[in-house]
Each structure stands twice: as structure tokens, then as C-alpha cells.
Structure 1
Amino acid sequence: MARQTVADATGQKAAFLAGGGEMGARIRAYDWASTPLGPVEGWSQTLCTLVQIILSSAHPMLLVWGSERIVLYNDASLPMWGGIHPSGLGVRYLRDVLQEIRGDLGPLVERAFKGETVHLSNLPVTFNRHGYMEESTYSFSYTPVTRMDGTVEGLLLPIIETSGQVFAERKLRELNETLEQQVITRTAELDRAWQLSQELLAVASPKGVIEAVNPMWTAVLGWERHELVGQPFMDFTHPDDLEPTLDAFASIFERPLVTPYENRYRHKDGSYRWFGWTGTFENGKVYASGRHITVEREQAEVLRQSQKMEAVGQLTGGLAHDFNNLLAGISGSLEMMQTRIQQGRFNDVERYMTVAQGASKRAAALTHRLLAFSRRQTLDPKPTDVTRLAMGMQEMIQRTVGPGIPVEVVGATTTWPALVDPPQLENALLNLCINARDAMPDGGSITIETANKWMDERAARQHDIPEGQYLSLSVTDTGTGMPPEVIARVFEPFFTTKPIGEGTGLGLSMIYGFAQQSEGQVRIYSEVGQGTTVCIYLPRHYGMVEDETVAERIADLPRSKDGETVLIVDDEPSVRMLITDIVEDLGCAAIEAGDSATGLKVLRSDVRIDLLVTDVGLPGGMNGRQMADAARVVRPDLKVLFITGYAENAVLGAGKLPLGMAVLTKPFAMDQMAARIRSMIEGAKEQARRA
């Protein structure tokens, strides 16, 4: 074997220093002979292996070797050294390299050189690595490297800088502390607001049990906190407001109650106060806020009474004007008839009679309009095909508005029926078309349209009607239109845009009252120069439409030959006289009574009575309905025809009369009364034959 030279041995010995980046090059170039470690070729195999490990590692690593604590490190640890690098390489004693932290690391290094493995996490150290003192944190593992005899030659230190993580966690803690302080401050502010609020604040369970109240409850309602908490709010609600209040409370679970709901709440002294409530449901609780509005409502009530008296004055003044005109026509015609009869000039009698009849019909129409406006007219609702009704009126409406204004009726083929009084609906439709004609002095067109409408919650709220299905009847013109300030008043009684003497101002108010009484609604849409649409909404009727019948004249009706008897009970002699004449013209016997006591006495006797015709409002201790019900105890099959001048729905059962009872409104046409009497008598006879 060839003799190995010293240079070859040195090269082989230093082969472990190959690579290692910057620190590998620096360690290879360093004059280790001037250090206690001595030349590289004299290093122990253990030291060589450890140096090779740290140079090839991608993680920061530090090697402290020998009793002199000589320091070696790798490229990955360079960012840690800052200004200390490269002077720290080969320096004796670790404390001389990291003078700023020797007080922290010194004891740890000494423990490790005694054979103890030391691990520290997030150790804070401060030293100058960028030209200024800088705080950093590190996690260290001091791993002793021991000889066979147990003595420690050096320490291997894997190092992880945790400054970023530690500082982020510190920042997060500071932020949390800030947020906690903000929460504490905000909570204190909310508690202060809760205590000082001028509104009644409360927290309740989903079942309506009060869980918390603010001091304003005691100030406004007198109740102490302990008297309220744990009690249902319903126990303090005015009995008349309870049902709608429960409905409003239930709605909070679907959406916040932002529009104040007004109701009365009981004071401790037993009186009640008005409040406007808002509320919301969050996190399983109902949060409510109530504003005291008792004084506002009492101002509001004074204003309402003032407006009511103004409306009454306007109403009575308009009535007096119109009725005086009509009475002048009636009374004047009757006087002229009497004069001509005394003079023997009978040719003029019919002319005055026509005038008197026309004035009386206009008076009846005016009365119907007033009753419709006040929702007091007696309606006789029937399942009605509104499209067929509108189409049936097209020819009459066309004649009324004149040939210069074409009238078109547009209706779907499958429109729903409505439960409505057909004559009143015809009257309303005719009025709308006349108004449309008057709004088009230069000509135009009228469109009558029917359609099925489904009102969802949003649409129903906009139209102020219950959610559901409706039949709409609209009249549209191409006329002058109306500004918003006129639209806002068109449903007021006696308000009219027509010249004096050309309109009573009751047409639209009558239609409004009729729609409301029919459980529907009427809405108007108009723009100046763009025309107007008035739409009546009627609830859909789930049932069949009956066939139409044609009224017969008295002269065409068959006369009775079986001795039928009709009892007529009315406190107005003139009405009894007219009905008696009709009954006798039909070949029946008539018995008259002026009050309910007399009428019931006849009904309880054994006198034959085939039909009772009675007014609803009667003297004698009971009304017409009560008298009829008492009579049916002894005459269970008695047919009854009620006649009334206004809607006594509570008496008549809101249009839902028992079988064998019917209603007819005053003033009535003689032919209409005769046909109704004849049909009810024939119905009674048919029923008797079947029995």
C-alpha cells in the first residue's frame, strides 16, 4: 500500500465539510488550529458527524462543543444571528456570542452540560440582530452529547423561532381583551339605557310569560318588577284587546313587529293605558318596547269627533238640499193632481203622476246610496256570475252613456262567482260608467273588465282586505283623470267634482259602502290626463250560480182561489194599506196589525195565516224577527217576509235567514212585492202537498 501523505489525510478528514452552503464554506476556511478545537483533521468522529448533520439540515441548528463552549451553526440559523454573524462562528463560550441573553440561557446551558436534556417553548429573548434591540421568542431543545464515560462533550440545539406565532397570539389576546372591555362597556351602556328608557321594555318567553321589565313599568303602570315577572302579559291586557293582541304576538315569531300595535294595558289602580308596541323574536326570547300613547289617542279622539261633526253637518246639509228638491216635485205634483181632479181636467193627472213617481224613485235611490255609504242597506246576496251580469248590462250602459263613447266588456271565460246583491251591483256598475262618461267630455272609451284575483299577504295588506281569492270588476275610462288630492276625497259623502246641481256626491261613497258591506273592497287608480280605473273586489263564492228569474207584473200573477190569508204587521198605516191592496189584488185575505204584541196575538190564535209580512222594527215589546220566531213555536211552517228600510243585520242574521224566511227592502216596487208574496204562498202550498 502506498504511503499516505499528511495532505491526503487532511483532505479525507475534512470531507465531511463538503457542501453546507455559506456556513460550510466558512467552517472549511476557518482557522480552527487557533481554537481549543484544534485543526479539523484532529476532530473526533463524533464532532465531525454532528457538524455534518447541522450543515445538511434545513432547520436552524446550533452546536456548542467542548469545555470552551465553541459555537458552530448552519445556514438555516443565519436569520437568528443578525449582526452577530459571522463573528459568532468559533467564538469561545456561548455567553460571549449572545451577551444580551446570557442571563437567560446561561443556567440552561450549564444544566445541559451536566447531562440534562432541556426543552423550552417560546422563550422570550432580546438581543441586537438588526442594529437595534429586538424581542424574539424561540423553542429550544438542548441535547447533551456524551462520551462513553458519561461526560458531556457538547450540546446539539435544534432551534425554532416562534416569534410570529407568539406575537400573533399576543395580539389576539390583546384584541380579545379589548373586545371584552368593549362588551363590558356596551353592556353597561345598554343596562343604563334599560334603566333610564322612557319606554316600557320587556323580555318574554315564547308563551308570553314576562321574564324582565325595566323601571318604566313602575313609573307608568304602577306595577313593581316582582309583580310582573313570571306572569303572562295576557293577564294585564284589556279584555277587548286580548284576541287581536294574541294575533299580533304570534306574528312576531314570523317577522319583527315594526309597525306599532296599539292596545290597552292595565294600571295597578285598575284603569287602562294605551301603548304602541313593537317587538322581535331572537334567541328564543321576545323583546318588546311599548310607548305610552294615551294622551295622543285622546287628542286624536277630539279631532275625530270634530271631523265627525263636520261630516254630519255636511251630510245633513246635502240631504236637506236634495230631499227638499225631491219633496217639492212630489208635493207639488200631488197638489196639482188634486186641483186638476177638482177642475175635472183629468188629462193632466197622468203627467203630474209621472213627475211624482220620478221624484219618489230618485228619493228612494238617494236613500239607498246613503244606506250603502253607511253600510246600513239591507242586502239580498245571491251567488252571482258577475261577468254575465256585466255583459247583460252592456246594451243598457251603452244607451246611457251615448253612442259617442264605445263600451267594451272583457271577461275571462272561467271567472269565479261572487256572493253579492245583484241589483245593488248593477246600480254600482251603472254609476261607475256614468262617472266615466262625465270624465270624458271630449269623448273616449269605457272598458268593463272582470278577472280572478289571488291576494297574497302583501297584496291583501296593500288593498286592506283579508288574504284570499277575489273576483274583480273594474271600469276604466280614457278621460281627464284625477290628481292625488282629489283621489283622497272621492269616497267622502257629497264630495263631487261636478258643477252644482249635476251630482249628489254620493255615487262613489255608495259604491264604497256597498263593497265594504259585501265583505269586499273598492280601489281607485288615476293619473291626470291618463284616465281612471275603479275596481271593486268581491270575495270568491264557492258554490253554484242560480238561474235568473224574471219578475212578473201583478196583473200577470195568478189570483188565489183557496182563501189564503196574509198577516201584515207594520207600524206605518200607509205601508199597511199598500200591502193590503196588493194582497187583495192577488185574491188573498189580509189582516192588519200595527205592533208586535197585536201581531203575535193573531199568530197564536187559530186564524188561518199562510204568510206573515212584517216590518223588522216594531213597537210592542219585540221586533219583527222576535215576533216571527215566537210565532214559529206554534206555527213551525209559517212563511215570513221581512220588510225593512235599512240593514238590521243583527236581527236578520247577516243575510242568513232560516228556511221559509225572506227579506225585501223599502221602498219596494209593487210588482216586486206582489211576486214575492205570490211565490212564498205557492211555496207554502207546495210544501203542504208534499207533506
Structure 2
Amino acid sequence: MSVVFSGSQRRSLALSPLGDVADWPQSLRTTAQVVLSSPVPMLLLWGEQLTQVYNDSFAVLAGHKHPTAFTQPFHLCWPEYSTYSQPIIKAVLAGQSLSYVDQYYVLPDHQHATELWLDLTFSPVRDEQGKVAGILMIAVQISRRRTALKQTSKALRELNETLEERVAERTQALAQANQQLQHEMLERERVEDALLHAQKMEAVGQLTGGIAHDFNNMLTGIIASLDLMKRYIAAGRSDEIDRFTDAAVSSAQRAAALTHRLLVFSRRQSLDRKPLDPNVLVNSLQALFNSSKGAKIQLVIELGQDIWPVNTDTGQLESALLNLIVNARDAMPDGGTLSIKTANSVLDGRTISSLETVNSGDYVMFEVSDNGTGMNPQILAKAFDPFFTTKPVGVGTGLGLSMIYGFAQQSGGHVSLSSEVGVGTCVRVYLPRHVEETQA
């Protein structure tokens, strides 16, 4: 059911406190429909300013105040009735219904003073929340009292029934929406749990598969060498078994190195912590870096001024930096620039993006960057995963970055990684600043 107003009325309403009819609440729409469709003079006062909406029958009673009175606040339109109307308005807004019989009324007219006798009814109109939002006034001329009362009673009954139906429909719709929302939340939790479980299983499978593959290759070398040694000894050729012994020892050493890397990754490797000067360490490794980078790559070393000392395992830090140099070299097969930097850095937990929570404080940053091939977002997301590598089979173990990550975390530091395809990669290792303890 829609409310029908003329074009001028709609424009007047749009500029009033009631606003556009399309935005009205259902309770106002329904009441306005009753007012407009009733042959009995009806006046609806709505909102805090008691904005007036009335029908054609009431427009006759408004006299020369119509059409200005339409959408005008009640107190501005009828100041002459303020003493009479204020107690009534207060009572009705409090929820009371009032009736006044045989009320004397002079029709507002510039030319003629027409006297009328009216029966007036004032009723509260409630919104969807049950609060009094308006006042419905019905004016019945005494000569048509019986007919008007019947029509008014029917209109009010329809109004109340319509409001109750609307409230019931809205309540049911809200209940259904709430039930649907609860169902969607439960389904989302179930899907998230399933996804998390699948990711955990994939990570465990990748880890165990990588370990099993590498150890199988190493054990194969040891077992094959021992088997050949037995055959040669049985054949009386003991003097020829040295090469098999060396092969078995080499495979065993590779297995020990793999175990060491796994311990570093899992942060179970004991660190031989010692205070050291970062710039002195990098300078001491410059010759090793030059021999590892390749002939086509230019090495640039930028050491910060007054770099703070760190307390960490020198061998592990050297291994981490060398691993990053080798990764940068492999990312620049046609040559490029490889940069190594040191700098003091103060982190506040928002400075860098790290896999784990960043503890605020003073750190020393070791940066290794290149302008090589770079990594796409999919590869970048897996860069720290153990045994994940983009290198050919047999070239890399996929433990380099994961080992560096484990070493940094075990040292109380952090690692950040940024990369872009065609631009290059930058890895920053942050180790906590070492502060000498002074004795009192």
C-alpha cells in the first residue's frame, strides 16, 4: 500500500523535517494512507516538531491557512490555540487518548467567520518500536457524528491491525536474518578449521617428505659404500677400499650437516654467543663474498657508522650471510649488483612485516639485496618454508632461508623479505643490540 500525494505536496514534504516520502518508516506511511483515504477531516502531527499532514476534508477546516499549513509545524500554524493544545499534546505524547465533544470552532477565513461545532479525538500513533511518534486528530461535525464515528473507528482499527502486522513481519524477518547469520558464522568457522588443518598437514607432509628424500640419498651412499667395502675385503682387495670409505664419510657428513640445519630451523641448536662488531665481521668475509658471487656480479658493501655490537653465534651469522650471497648470485645469472649493508635500526613493532610478533627495541640490520629475477607473490609466501626451493633437483635443499629464519628467531631477532619480479630481492636480518652489563 503506497501513500499518494500530489507533486506540490511531495516537494513540500521533501523540504520538511519528514523528508522524502520514499524514506518514511512503515508506521508513518500506513497512518498517512489512512489520513488521505478518509472522508473525515484528519490531521496527523509527526515527529519532534509535530509536522502537519492532513487530508482534503481537513484542508476545508484549515481555511485560508491551507496550503501553507501542510508540512508546517503545528505551533507555527495555530498559535491562537497554544493554550488549548499544549496540555493535549503533552498527554497524547505520553500515550493517552483524549476526546472532546461539542467544541466551538471558527473556520479561518479572511472574508467570512463560519462557526462550527466539532467533536475532536486525539490519539497517539506508535512507530515500529512501540514508541509514540505522532498524534492523530480526527474532527467530526456533529451533524454527521454517527457516520464519522463508525468510519473513524474502522480506520483506527485498520491502522492498529496494519501496524501489528508490520511489526510481526519485521520481527520474523529479523529472526530469520539472525538465524541465517548464525548459520553462516558456524559454516565459516568450519571451513576455516578445515583449511587450517589442510595447511598443517601440507606443511608436515612437505617437511617429512623433504627430510626422508635427503636422508634416503645420504643413506644410500653410505650403505652402497659399505657394501662395496665388504666385497673388496672378501676378495682380498683391502688396499682399494679407501675411496669407498671417503664416500661413506662424505655422505655421513652431509647427513650431519642436514641435521644441523634442521636444528637451526627448529631453534634447538645451541648457539655459541659472543659479542662481535658487525662491520668487522662483514669486512673479514669480504674475500669469501668476492669468491662466491661470480665474475659477472658487482659487490657493493655499505657499512653504517657507529654500528652497535651484537651478541650472537659468529659461525651461524657467517653461514646466514654466505647463504644469502649465494641466493643473490643464483638470482642474477647474467650479472648484476649485489649489495651488503649494515645499519642501526629501532623497531617499534610496526616498522617491518615479519611472520612473528616484532619486539620493540634496538637492532642491528644486515641487508643483502640484488637486482635479479625476483619472486612473484606466490613464491614469496613460501620462501621460508622448509625444503621449498625453486632450484633444480639436487642443486638446493630448500633449507637456506628457513635456517636463517630459525637462527634469527633463536637469537631474539627477526627477518624481513621483500621481492618483486624483474626488480630484485632484499633480505634484512635484524639482531638485537648488545648492551654491556656494568658492575656497580
Name the CA shift for 1:394/1:297 in 2 (closer, same or farther; >3 Å): farther
Question: Deviation of residue 416 (structure 1)?
Answer: 1.4
Matched, 1:426 2:426: no
State the distance in 1 between where 2:389 and 2:291 align.
24
Name the CA shift for 1:444/1:515 in 2 (closer, same or farther; >3 Å): same
Matched, 1:515 2:408: yes
State the distance in 1 between where 2:314 and 2:330 align.
24
Amino acid in the other structure paired with 1:397: F
TM-score, scaled to structure 1: 0.36
Name the CA shift for 1:407/1:294 in 2 (closer, same or farther; >3 Å): same
In the alignment, which residue of structure 2 is the partner of 1:487? 380
Question: Deviation of residue 460 (structure 1)?
Answer: 5.5
Alignment equivalent of 1:470, drawn from 359, 363, 369: 363
Q: Gaps (5+ residues) in structure 1?
A: 1-132, 135-166, 171-183, 199-215, 220-291, 545-691
What are the residue-to-residue correspondences of 1:234-253 with 2, within 5 Å?
none
What are the residue-to-residue correspondences of 1:238-387 with 2, within 5 Å?
296-297=188-189, 299-340=191-232, 343-346=236-239, 349=242, 351-387=243-279
Name the CA shift for 1:395/1:336 in 2 (closer, same or farther; >3 Å): farther
Question: Deviation of residue 435 (structure 1)?
Answer: 1.0
State the distance in 1 between where 2:266 and 2:324 align.
19
Question: Deviation of residue 447 (structure 1)?
Answer: 1.4
**SS across alignment from 1:458:** coil
State the distance in 2 between where 1:187 and 1:542 align.
66
Name the CA shift for 1:344/1:506 in 2 (closer, same or farther; >3 Å): same
Alignment equivalent of 2:419, drawn from 526, 531, 544: 526
State the distance in 1 between where 2:274 and 2:187 align.
46
Tell me whether 366-375 or 436-445 shows the greater mean CA deviation. Answer: 366-375
Name the CA shift for 1:452/1:328 in 2 (closer, same or farther; >3 Å): same
Matched, 1:502 2:398: no
Provide the aligned C-alpha RMSD in A: 4.2
- Indicate conservation of the 8 Å contact 1:383/1:543, yes or no: no
The aligned length equals 281
- Indicate conservation of the 8 Å contact 2:305/2:343, yes or no: no
Name the CA shift for 1:519/1:294 in 2 (closer, same or farther; >3 Å): farther
Name the CA shift for 1:383/1:197 in 2 (closer, same or farther; >3 Å): farther
In the alignment, which residue of structure 1 is the partner of 2:307? 415
State the distance in 1 between where 2:428 and 2:342 align.
9
**SS across alignment from 2:343:** strand
What are the residue-to-residue correspondences of 1:220-231 with 2, within 5 Å?
none
Question: Deviation of residue 452 (structure 1)?
Answer: 0.7
- Indicate conservation of the 8 Å contact 1:460/1:467, yes or no: no
Question: Deviation of residue 465 (structure 1)?
Answer: 0.5
Matched, 1:398 2:293: no
Question: Deviation of residue 473 (structure 1)?
Answer: 1.0
Question: Deviation of residue 499 (structure 1)?
Answer: 1.5
Name the CA shift for 1:383/1:499 in 2 (closer, same or farther; >3 Å): same
Name the CA shift for 1:445/1:381 in 2 (closer, same or farther; >3 Å): same
Please list the CA deviations of residues 589-629 of structure 1 after superposition, one character each: whole Å capped at 9, or x if unmatched.
xxxxxxxxxxxxxxxxxxxxxxxxxxxxxxxxxxxxxxxxx
Amino acid in the other structure paired with 2:380: I
Amino acid in the other structure paired with 2:381: A
State the distance in 1 between where 2:213 and 2:251 align.
14
Question: Deviation of residue 431 (structure 1)?
Answer: 1.3
Please list the CA deviations of residues 169-201 of structure 1 after superposition, one character each: whole Å capped at 9, or x if unmatched.
x9xxxxxxxxxxxxx999999xx9xxx999xxx
Question: Deviation of residue 492 (structure 1)?
Answer: 1.4
Percent of aligned positions that are identical: 48
**SS across alignment from 1:473:** strand
- Indicate conservation of the 8 Å contact 1:394/1:407, yes or no: no
Please list the CA deviations of residues 621-669 of structure 1 after superposition, one character each: whole Å capped at 9, or x if unmatched.
xxxxxxxxxxxxxxxxxxxxxxxxxxxxxxxxxxxxxxxxxxxxxxxxx
Question: Deviation of residue 317 (structure 1)?
Answer: 1.7
Name the CA shift for 1:337/1:397 in 2 (closer, same or farther; >3 Å): farther
Question: Deviation of residue 535 (structure 1)?
Answer: 1.0
Name the CA shift for 1:347/1:419 in 2 (closer, same or farther; >3 Å): same
- Indicate conservation of the 8 Å contact 1:406/1:445, yes or no: yes
In the alignment, which residue of structure 1 is the partner of 2:345? 453
What are the residue-to-residue correspondences of 1:600-611 with 2, within 5 Å?
none
- Indicate conservation of the 8 Å contact 2:353/2:416, yes or no: no
- Indicate conservation of the 8 Å contact 2:292/2:326, yes or no: yes
Name the CA shift for 1:437/1:462 in 2 (closer, same or farther; >3 Å): closer
Q: Gaps (5+ residues) in structure 2?
A: 1-63, 66-75, 80-125, 132-166, 168-172
Question: Deviation of residue 532 (structure 1)?
Answer: 0.8
TM-score, scaled to structure 2: 0.54
Amino acid in the other structure paired with 1:366: L
Question: Deviation of residue 344 (structure 1)?
Answer: 4.3
Question: Deviation of residue 438 (structure 1)?
Answer: 0.9
What are the residue-to-residue correspondences of 1:545-624 with 2, within 5 Å?
none
**SS across alignment from 2:208:** helix
Question: Deviation of residue 369 (structure 1)?
Answer: 2.1
In the alignment, which residue of structure 1 is the partner of 2:23? none
Question: Deviation of residue 293 (structure 1)?
Answer: 6.7
Name the CA shift for 1:355/1:386 in 2 (closer, same or farther; >3 Å): farther
Question: Deviation of residue 509 (structure 1)?
Answer: 1.6
Amino acid in the other structure paired with 2:246: T
State the distance in 2 between where 1:373 and 1:294 align.
36
**SS across alignment from 1:445:** strand
**SS across alignment from 1:459:** coil
Name the CA shift for 1:316/1:434 in 2 (closer, same or farther; >3 Å): same
Amino acid in the other structure paired with 2:318: E
Name the CA shift for 1:188/1:367 in 2 (closer, same or farther; >3 Å): farther
Please list the CA deviations of residues 118-144 of structure 1 after superposition, one character each: whole Å capped at 9, or x if unmatched.
xxxxxxxxxxxxxxx99xxxxxxxxxx
Matched, 1:388 2:280: yes
